[in-house]
């Protein structure tokens, strides 16, 4: 249904008249050109399309514009502030926690959501928290290390 | 050598000229110092391949080049592509070290068919083995050329000059200097490198061998890295294509009227090819769902259980790979004989990025962006589809979101070209996950039949090996066996029509996963019968020093204590060779008897890959290969009935997840005096075998089919 939809995206207000049943994934990628959010499976099985809605990871392929009405969305493009990388982004780089990089945006945002809930996760809590995100290249163990190291940095107030 | 790749173009007699007009690139790249070099071996090897179609007229002069710009930046133009294997970084490391510049000034220009000379494609763990060697030599020679040019300008003999991080310095007067960029200013210098200059001694490496941050890491963690589906052009439409319900189904009736009524949708049709196009992919998909189509689907009574009998029935006569001694004599002399059949199911590549392509036709030219391991093959295919000369087609490979051998066909690219031609618009085709599973050229279902025998002394005396449909890679056994024969029924991964009900293709280390699983399982069965520890048994029957070496190191790292299997510990080992690299793996598993679930707790993987130019990158590949291998070992299996693929998404087709991944310890035996060998594929070959052997050690049940799903393990336990 065409209706007025508004939300905050990467800190900026977005307002438009749009079919509110459209999926957030396509709105971000096609209408806004924010292609860091990836299509992987379209049915919520892989997590490549993960974004943050009110700081919680959601799969944008299953989220409609109606679902995010009035909420705050962060995509991978909005994670770095003024070109300063988020500790998770930096840790993924430092630990080589990626190969082809296609699952990486979803991986990082899922980890962000995890750290919101559990600021100092154990390895098994990371496994549980990240289980829904698929990576075919097999970077899993490095992702776990990266998340632990980012958690430490965030806790330590930016120093590591 | 093994068959690494199939060229699937149609015409028998067509000759495609891959010689390039050098001017065509150079006009695009302006002034600077241009250094051309030849990879040599690689095209020559491809040329020798029998059955290559069409006839390819390979470049004989150069197939990669370097440009040193006035700004001091060094560009390397190569048709290789980056799909996660890390060559954008490791190749840059090699070049920067040899040329004596920092890694930051290197720009890798990859997979652009207008900017880069022809390249066969990125597969077979060949980028470092072949291209890397040529690149290093080119870097070393480029440095000599720069010294020579500087010598003229500085009026100082070249041997009185040295280089340091992109600067040429007079050894006697360090203020007397020129940067590489200054040498390139306002000039256009072209040199053909001889490829005969010696590369650096490993002891002198500054950048190679040291861990660096991947060159593509920042783009990938910020979402800036572009993959094919991220390319958006003004006025571009997204196409959703009508698909048959099964391979082999024929369209008999179709009604497009409802789809055409969807606002803003353009429906295109060319015979059975029907697509709905819209500026939004979601609306194009909605329109496609309104197409009413009837298909005639052939009844094919083949599924994942009957396929193996079928394959044996249609298998071609074998080709003898190796033969020694006398099989009959070997059987007579053996104390115990073993006869077993090993199976593996069809497996999907399942990269997280589905195939995508964008095609923009302007006049008689076409621009193409595609996720492909073979951009130059795609160029030819698009030209053919559009009926324009190949030189008018430019394929640009952006980042590829995983390939594993699955992105070597150009189907989605040809589809995008067809839609662009029919609609008159720029078009993007991005496959859904269901389409990805439908058109994936799966790793073939395959069988291995082995008859073997041992003597009283625990020596292998007989080895009669037949592999069906997996291909020859990894089939040749390397144990010391007096009476042996290895026969391959169907070379490579593609078989005659009527063999497989759908497409098959190369899957990471093609053939070798199947062959290593069969061989190393059979070896363990014999060891157990001989009452010997499986490591001890291998050592007794091996004479290859490099294999023995990686096995011993793995045992040391793993803490292997000799015991006859099944020991109840859940320890397994396996070894093999692939792409010139020697691999040994050891694993510890736990099997939950009630459910049949295997939990892999720990894997040690050791490899000798010759000189490891980027050991950290190689370790990442090893970890990734072990992890990916868990899938084909434990869960991954394509279910089907005839040409109807039942797996559509990751709910039924399960990939390895975080909870599956064991502690993985890797070690590289750095053989500095040897040439670099493959790194991306070899460490996956042992994963199936090492887990199967560990499962046997844990519960005394021998699994003869991959994947070892909980259902299969429970079934085997019941039978036992």
Q: What is the pLDDT of residues B150-178, one digit of tens each?
A: 999 999 999 999 999 999 999 999 999 99
Residue of B216, B220, B352 with shortest CB distance to A46: B352
The answer to whether the beta carbons of residues B97 and B207 sit under 8 Å apart is: yes
Report H helices in B488-544: 512-529, 534-541
pLDDT, tens digit, for every residue of B501-534?
999 999 999 999 999 999 999 999 999 999 999 9
| The pLDDT of residue B4 is above 50 | no
Over 90: is that where the pLDDT of B538 sits? yes
Residue B8 or residue B413, greater confidence: B413
Task: Report the residue from B214, B223, B625 with minimal CB separation from A36.
Answer: B223
Q: Which of A46, A41, A101 is nearest to B658 (CA)?
A: A46
Residue of A nearest to B82 (CA): A100
Please check the confidence at residue B565 and state whether its pLDDT lies above 50: yes
Distance CA B341, CA B706 (A): 12
CATH 1.10.150.120 domain range(s) in chain A: 87-155
B650 closest CB neighbour out of A23, A101, A134: A134
- Of the candidates B275, B292, B565, B540, the one whose C-alpha atom is nearest the C-alpha of residue B429 is B275
Say whether residue A38 is in contact with chain B using an 8 A CB cutoff.
Answer: yes
Instruction: Give the pLDDT confidence score for residue A157 in this predicted structure.
Output: 66
At B24 the pLDDT is 55
- Distance, first Cα to last Cα, chain A: 49
CB B319 within 8 A of CB B477: no
**B685 vs B681: CA distance, rounded Å:** 7
State the SS3 of B88-139.
HHHHHHHHHHHHCCCHHHEEEEECECCCCCCCCCCCCCCHHHHHHHHHHHHH
pLDDT at site B613:
78
B37, B163, B318 from B140: Cα distances, Å: 12, 11, 46
Q: To the nearest whole number, what is the mean pLDDT of chain A? A: 95
Q: In the prediction, which pLDDT does B152 show?
A: 94
CA distance B1 to A1: 61
What residues of A are in contact with residue B651 (Cβ under 8 Å)? 43, 45
For residue B227, which residues of chain A lie inside 8 Å, CB to CB? 35, 38, 102
Please tell me which residue of chain A has the smallest CA distance to B224: A36
- Give me the half-sphere count of Cα atoms (radius 13 Å) on the Cβ side of residue A125: 14
CATH superfamily of A2-78: Beta-grasp domain (3.10.20.30)
Instruction: Please report the DSSP string for B286-349 in residue order.
Output: HHHHT-EEEEE------BTTTHHHHHHHHPPPPEEEEEES-HHHHHHH-SEEEEEEEEE--B--
Rounded mean pLDDT of A89-108? 97
Contact by Cβ (8 Å): B162, B168: yes
Query: Which of A26, A43, A143 is opposite residue B282, by nearest beta carbon?
Result: A26
Q: What is the mean pLDDT of residues B277-283?
A: 97
Residue with tokens 């009736």: B253
Q: Please list the residues that pair with B705 across neighbouring strands.
A: B343
Q: What's A87-155's CATH class?
A: mainly alpha
CB B544, CB B161: distance < 8 Å:
no
Contact B529, B338 (CB under 8 A): yes
Written out in words, the top-level CATH class of the domain with range B228-297+355-430 is alpha beta
What mean pLDDT do residues B414-427 have?
98
Higher pLDDT, A5 or B117: A5
Contacts of A30 in chain B (CB under 8 A): 232, 238, 279-281
User: B77: burial class by Cβ within 10 Å (0-12, 13-18, 19+)?
Assistant: buried
Q: Kindly determine whether residue B655 and residue A134, on different chains, have CB atoms separated by under 8 Å.
A: yes
Decide if B228-297+355-430 and B307-347+442-719 have a common fold.
Answer: yes
Band (B469; pLDDT cuts 50, 70, 90): very high
CA B523 to chain A, closest CA, distance in angstroms equals: 29
Return the residue in A9, A29, A100, A103 with the most chain B beta carbons within 10 A, the one to mutate for interface testing: A100
- Domain segments of chain B as ranges: 15-222, 228-297+355-430, 307-347+442-719
Closest-approach residue (CA) in chain A for B223: A36
Q: pLDDT tens digits for B446-462?
A: 999 999 999 999 999 99
Residues of A in contact with B351 (CB under 8 A): 100, 102, 136
Is residue B273 within 8 Å of B227, Cβ to Cβ? no
Given a cut of 90, whether residue B133 has pLDDT beyond it is: no
Element (H, E) at B450: strand B446-454
Provide the phi-psi class of B643: left if phi over 0, else alpha when psi is between -120 and 50, else beta.
alpha
Cα distance between residue B105 and residue B111, in whole Å: 19
Q: Is the peptide bond before B566 cis (omega within 30 degrees of 0)?
A: yes
Assign B126 a pLDDT band (cuts: 50, 70, 90): confident
**Which of A138, A140, A143 to mutate against chain B (most B CBs within 10 Å)?**
A138
In a mutational test of the A interface, the residue from B658, B661, B683 whose CB has the highest number of chain A CBs within 10 Å is B658
Instruction: State what percent of residues in chain A have pLDDT above 90.
Output: 94
Q: How confident is the model at residue B40, as a pLDDT?
A: 59
CB contact under 8 A, B620 and A128: no
Radius of gyration of chain A (CA): 16
Residues of B with Cβ-Cβ distance to A127 under 8 angstroms: 658-659
- Complete DSSP assignment for B147-167: HHHHHHHHTS-GGGEEEETTE
% of chain B exceeding 90 in pLDDT:
79
Which residues in chain B are contacts of A99 at CB distance < 8 A? 84-86, 402, 620, 624
CA distance B570 to B49: 44
Mean pLDDT confidence for A70-96? 96
Contact at CB, A35 and B282, closer than 8 angstroms: no
DSSP string, A70-99: T-EEE-GGGTSBTTBPPHHHHHHHHTT--S
Is 60 exceeded by the pLDDT of residue B10? no
**A130 close to B (CB below 8 A):** yes
Tell me what percent of the residues of chain B surpass a pLDDT of 70.
92
For the residues B285-311, what does the mean pLDDT come to? 96
The DSSP 8-state label assigned to residue B683 in this structure reads G
Can you say whether the dihedral through the CA atoms of B106, B111, B112, B114 is positive or negative? positive
A132-145: average pLDDT = 98
CA distance B330 to B452: 9
Would you say residue B81 has pLDDT above 60? yes
| Mean pLDDT computed over every residue of chain B | 91
Q: What's the rounded Cα separation, in Å, for the pair B179 and B190?
A: 18
Give the residue on A whose Cα is nearest the Cα of B617.
Answer: A96
Mean pLDDT of A30-37: 97
Q: What is the mean pLDDT of residues B221-244?
A: 98
**Window B:194-233, CB contacts with A under 8 Å:** 213-214, 216-227, 229-230, 232
**Is 90 exceeded by the pLDDT of residue B404?**
yes
What does the pLDDT average to over B356-370? 97
- Given a cut of 60, whether residue B13 has pLDDT beyond it is no
Q: How far apart are CA B480 and CA B422, in angstroms?
A: 61
Q: At what angle do helices A123-130 and A104-117 cross, to 10 degrees?
A: 120
Judged by a CB distance cut-off of 8 A, whether residue B46 touches chain A is no
Residue range A72-93: mean pLDDT, rounded: 96
Who wins on pLDDT, B267 or B6? B267
Burial class of residue B467 (count of CB atoms within 10 Å of its CB; 0-12, 13-18, 19+): buried
Residues of chain A with CATH 3.10.20.30: 2-78
Q: Does domain B15-222 have CATH number 1.10.510.10?
A: no
At B677 the pLDDT is 86
* CATH of B307-347+442-719 among 3.30.420.40, 3.40.50.1000, 3.30.365.10, 3.20.80.10: 3.30.365.10
> Which helix (H) or strand (E) segment is B666 a member of?
strand B663-668
pTM, entire model: 0.93
Determine the pLDDT at residue B61.
Answer: 63
- The per-residue DSSP string of B384-413 comes to HHHTS-GGGEEEEE-B-S--TTTT-S-HHH
Q: Which of A4-13, B42-51, B208-217, B412-421 has the lowest mean pLDDT?
A: B42-51
Structure-derived torsion over alpha carbons of residues A80, A83, A88, A92, reported in degrees to the nearest 10: 130
Q: pLDDT for B306-355, tens place per residue?
A: 999 999 999 999 999 999 999 999 999 999 999 999 999 999 999 999 99
Structure-token match 């950048």, residue found: B207
Torsion of CA B250, B255, B259, B261, to 10 degrees: 160
**Alpha-carbon gap, residue A119 to A109, rounded angstroms:** 14
């Amino acid at each position: 249904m065409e209706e007025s939809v508004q939300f905050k995206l990467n800190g900026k207000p977005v307002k438009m008249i749009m079919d509110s049943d459209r999926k957030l994934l396509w709105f971000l990628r096609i209408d806004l050109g924010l292609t860091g959010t990836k299509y992987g499976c379209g049915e919520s099985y892989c997590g490549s399309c993960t974004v943050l809605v009110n700081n919680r990871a959601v799969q944008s392929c299953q989220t409609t514009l109606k679902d995010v009405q009035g909420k705050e969305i962060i995509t991978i493009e909005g994670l770095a502030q003024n070109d300063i990388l988020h500790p998770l982004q930096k840790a993924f780089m430092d630990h080589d926690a990626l190969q082809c990089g296609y699952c990486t945006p979803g991986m990082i945002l899922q980890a962000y959501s995890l750290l919101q809930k559990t600021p100092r996760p154990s390895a098994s809590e990371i496994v549980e928290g990240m289980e829904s995100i698929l990576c075919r290249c097999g970077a899993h163990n490095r992702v776990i290390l990266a998340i632990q190291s980012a958690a430490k940095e965030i806790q330590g107030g930016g120093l590591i | 050598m093994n068959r690494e790749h199939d060229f699937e173009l149609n015409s028998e007699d067509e000759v495609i000229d891959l010689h390039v007009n050098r001017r065509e690139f150079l006009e695009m790249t302006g002034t600077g110092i241009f250094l051309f070099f030849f990879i040599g071996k690689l095209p020559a090897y491809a040329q020798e391949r029998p059955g290559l179609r069409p006839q390819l007229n390979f470049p004989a002069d150069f197939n990669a080049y370097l440009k040193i710009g006035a700004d001091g930046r060094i560009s390397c133009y190569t048709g290789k592509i980056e799909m996660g294997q890390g060559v954008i970084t490791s190749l840059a490391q090699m070049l920067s070290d040899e040329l004596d510049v920092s890694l930051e000034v290197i720009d890798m220009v990859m997979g652009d068919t207008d900017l880069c000379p022809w390249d066969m494609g990125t597969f077979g763990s060949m980028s470092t083995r072949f291209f890397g060697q040529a690149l290093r030599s080119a870097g070393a020679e480029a440095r000599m050329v720069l010294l020579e040019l500087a010598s003229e300008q500085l009026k100082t003999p070249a041997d009185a000059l040295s280089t340091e991080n992109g600067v040429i310095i007079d050894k006697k007067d360090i203020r007397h200097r020129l940067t590489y960029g200054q040498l390139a200013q306002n000039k256009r210098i072209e040199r053909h490198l001889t490829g005969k200059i010696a590369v650096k001694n490993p002891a002198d490496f500054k950048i190679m061998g040291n861990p660096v941050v991947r060159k593509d890491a920042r783009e990938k963690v910020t979402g800036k890295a572009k993959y094919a589906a991220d390319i958006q052009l003004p006025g571009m439409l997204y196409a959703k294509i009508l698909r048959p319900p099964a391979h082999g189904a024929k369209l008999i009736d179709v009604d497009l009227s409802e789809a055409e009524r969807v606002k803003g949708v353009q429906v295109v049709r060319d015979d059975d090819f029907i697509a709905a196009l819209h500026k939004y992919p979601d609306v194009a998909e909605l329109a496609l769902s309104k197409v009413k189509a009837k298909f005639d689907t052939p009844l094919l009574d083949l599924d994942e259980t009957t396929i193996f009998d079928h394959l044996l029935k249609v298998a071609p006569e074998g080709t003898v790979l190796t033969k020694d001694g006398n099989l009959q004599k070997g059987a007579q002399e053996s104390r115990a004989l073993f006869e077993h059949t090993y199976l593996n199911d069809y497996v999907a590549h399942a990269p997280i990025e589905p195939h995508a392509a964008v095609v923009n036709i302007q006049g008689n030219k076409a621009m193409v962006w595609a996720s492909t391991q073979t951009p130059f093959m795609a160029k030819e295919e698009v030209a053919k589809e559009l009926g324009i000369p190949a030189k008018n087609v430019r394929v640009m490979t952006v980042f590829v979101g995983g390939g594993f051998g699955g992105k070597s066909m150009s189907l989605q690219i040809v589809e995008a070209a067809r839609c662009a031609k029919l609609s008159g618009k720029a078009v993007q085709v991005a496959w859904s996950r269901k389409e990805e599973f439908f058109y994936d050229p799966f790793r073939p279902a395959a069988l291995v039949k082995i008859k073997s025998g041992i003597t009283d002394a625990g020596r292998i005396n007989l080895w009669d090996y037949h592999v069906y449909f997996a291909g020859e890679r990894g089939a040749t056994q390397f144990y010391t066996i007096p009476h042996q024969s290895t026969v391959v029924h169907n070379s490579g991964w593609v078989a005659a029509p009527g063999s497989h009900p759908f497409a098959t293709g190369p899957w990471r280390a093609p053939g070798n996963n199947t062959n290593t699983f069969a061989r190393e399982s059979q070896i363990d069965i014999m060891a157990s019968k001989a009452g010997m520890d499986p490591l001890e048994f291998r050592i007794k029957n091996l004479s290859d020093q490099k294999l023995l070496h990686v096995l011993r190191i793995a045992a040391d790292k793993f803490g292997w204590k000799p015991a006859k299997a099944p020991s109840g510990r859940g320890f397994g080992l396996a070894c093999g060779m692939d792409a010139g690299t020697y691999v040994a793996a050891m694993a510890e598993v736990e099997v939950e008897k009630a459910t049949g679930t295997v939990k892999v707790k720990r894997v040690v993987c050791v490899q000798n890959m010759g000189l490891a130019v980027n050991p950290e990158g190689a370790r990442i590949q090893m970890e990734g290969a072990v992890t990916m291998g868990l899938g084909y070992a434990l869960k991954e299996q394509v279910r089907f009935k005839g040409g109807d693929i039942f797996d559509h998404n990751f709910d039924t087709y399960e990939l390895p997840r975080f909870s599956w991944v064991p502690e993985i310890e890797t070690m590289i035996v750095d053989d500095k005096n040897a040439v670099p060998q493959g790194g991306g594929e070899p460490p996956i070959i042992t994963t199936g075998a090492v887990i199967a052997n560990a499962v046997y050690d844990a519960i005394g049940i021998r699994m003869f089919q991959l994947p070892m799903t909980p259902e299969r393990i429970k079934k085997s336990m019941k039978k036992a």
